């Protein structure tokens, strides 16, 4: 019987773990995506999602926080995990496993600058995205689907609404993000049936009729 050589080169076991984040911004009733232009190879000059290596001693959540700050100056934003990407050919130079996150913010609440190996940053319409480096086009598709699902079923909408809001404000947000007009009665019935909202027993001031204010249950 042929003896199998169990000695494997160390490089066969080497794997880099990265955290990438699809940061969606809501501006003028339109959802846009934050992109960074890479200034180093591979994919130098390509637009992509901000991302980077998980450093020793850091969690994935800590890593995505650090990456966003190091590349764009963004900080103190909440992220939700999308999924893990582990295809062996994701990176042209080495084996890279990525955990993708998404965030939903108001761009006017944050100062964004290009830092480190990023030459430019921009908010780009989802309808006009350039070709993205690596497999980030797939990450964007999955992050957008996860965002919409979380909004519809878990009422996860980042910082796009204040802590207390009316059902009309919630519906306006849904219509803008989902890109469709929703029947008022059906929307309110479905949202309340989720049992994720609770009344604050307060009325919105300065609005005709004083609509009731709600908040997400914690």
pLDDT by residue for the chain (218 residues), tens only, comes to: 334 333 433 354 588 999 999 999 988 778 899 999 999 999 999 999 999 999 888 899 999 999 999 999 999 898 999 999 999 988 888 899 999 999 999 999 899 999 999 999 999 999 899 999 999 999 999 999 999 999 989 998 888 888 899 999 999 999 988 888 999 999 999 999 999 999 999 998 877 777 999 999 87
Per the rule left: phi > 0, alpha: psi between -120 and 50, beta: everything else, 200 is alpha
From 136, 154, 183, give the residue that closes a domain.
Answer: 136
CA atoms within 13 A on the CB side of 141: 5
Domain span at 86: 14-136
Residue 158 within a domain: no
- Based on the structure, what is the number of domains in the chain? 2
Residue 115 within a domain: yes
């Amino acid at each position: 019987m042929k003896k199998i050589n169990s000695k494997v080169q160390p490089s066969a076991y080497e794997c880099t773990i990265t955290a990438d984040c699809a940061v969606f911004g809501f501006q003028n009733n339109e959802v846009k995506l934050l992109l960074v232009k890479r200034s180093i190879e591979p994919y130098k000059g390509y637009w992509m999602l901000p991302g980077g290596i998980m450093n020793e001693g850091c969690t994935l959540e800590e890593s995505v926080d650090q990456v966003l700050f190091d590349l764009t100056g963004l900080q103190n934003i909440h992220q939700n995990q999308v999924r893990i990407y582990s295809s062996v050919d994701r990176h042209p130079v080495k084996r890279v496993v990525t955990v993708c996150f998404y965030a939903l913010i108001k761009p006017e609440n944050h100062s964004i600058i290009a830092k480190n190996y990023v030459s430019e940053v921009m908010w780009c319409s989802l309808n006009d995205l350039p070709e993205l480096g690596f497999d980030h086009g797939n990450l964007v598709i999955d992050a957008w689907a996860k965002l919409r699902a979380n909004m519809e079923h878990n009422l996860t909408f980042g910082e796009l609404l204040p802590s207390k809001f009316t059902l009309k404000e919630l519906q306006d947000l849904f219509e803008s993000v989902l890109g469709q007009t929703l029947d008022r009665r059906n929307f309110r019935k479905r949202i309340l049936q989720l049992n994720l909202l609770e009344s604050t027993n307060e009325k919105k001031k300065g609005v005709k009729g004083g609509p009731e204010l709600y908040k997400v249950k914690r």
